[in-house]
Structure 1
């Protein structure tokens, strides 16, 4: 699993990578800022921004189902990963742990994103199996990711990473500690 020491050692490269992806930082800020100002089920500009940020390349029917769930859940103060994964599965027939986590991380920016890069950087293996098995495994992995990222944020040296991010990207100081950590880990490939 990735450590604060490794993140600090690789922070120059991670920050340089984020500088090249400045548009993604702006997209993320937009999706969080506009979430409660729009109906995400109907707002095509919002959907295009979210799709571009997170690489949503599913067909229109899938996207319609996903954004209906997103709109229904965006004010849920107790949003649960397992429930969102199951809702997407029941609506689309697909286990979409990554997109479920991105929905949740937009609703609650203190929550982790579950994607292949973060999973790999945290040493979690790719899961296989039936839909229900994959959901249970995804829930376990998501809890492990969230717990690990929360522990990294509490580490004594995390403020050094946060300070470097804020100096490099002062227009994004409102990003949560977890989002900053997520972005830095996402750049380590």
Structure 2
């Protein structure tokens, strides 16, 4: 991706970067299962909408319960499915990444821009396939963050948003990929 496209993505991500920083500042300080203000901000940032109240209660109770752990995507995906009956790889990843900012999020744009695809919702093996896809996404980030292009993304982020240099390298790349809608996916070679 060119520097101009990286900078364009960062301009588009500016509001989201600020929203994310507020969420991550508040997260350790509140009981997310009870704090309606945090939930509202989280729902707005991650576009959590049109769910039953029981779903929100289960989701935020689980987030609070796991807050002091390093949850695995596979376990959270299974637990959300058990609690709600819903296949939610995107929201499972966002819960995991909120607790552990070194973990990637599952988003349609990020999947596309990293050469990944989501299993069909109709697949009988969708939970298992999502776990494999997420593990592959984690591998992709590990390689990309160590690549010259990954280092360029991080450098551009730091120049664009110096007040947010404390975000993880993964999250910086995440913001650029999230706001990039038309790059072809590339395989990253190991160095």
TM-score, normalising length: structure 2: 0.88
Equivalent residue for 1:75, pick from 68, 72, 81: 68
CA RMSD of aligned residues (A): 1.7
- For residues 164 and 22 of structure 2, what CA distance do their matches in structure 1 show? 11
Deviation at 1:32, TM superposition (A): 1.6
1:125-164 residue pairs with structure 2 within 5 A? 125-128=117-120, 133-164=125-156
CA distance, structure 2, for counterparts of residue 100 and residue 127 of structure 1 = 15
Q: Which residue of 2 aligns with 1:54?
A: 46
Q: Given that residues 145 and 170 in structure 2 are in contact (C-alpha distance below 8 angstroms), is that contact kept between their aligned partners in structure 1?
A: yes
The answer for the alignment partner of 1:17 in structure 2 is 12
Higher helix proportion (structure 1 or 2): 1
Where does the alignment leave 5 or more consecutive residues of structure 1 unmatched?
1-5
**Given that residues 32 and 106 in structure 1 are in contact (C-alpha distance below 8 angstroms), is that contact kept between their aligned partners in structure 2?**
yes
Runs of at least 4 residues off by over 3 Å: 129-132
**What is residue 187 of structure 2 aligned with on the other side?**
none
TM-score, structure 1 length as denominator?
Answer: 0.89
Kept in 1: contact 2:117–2:133 (CA 8 A): no
**Structure 2: gaps (5+ residues):** 182-191
- Are residues 1:40 and 2:35 paired? no
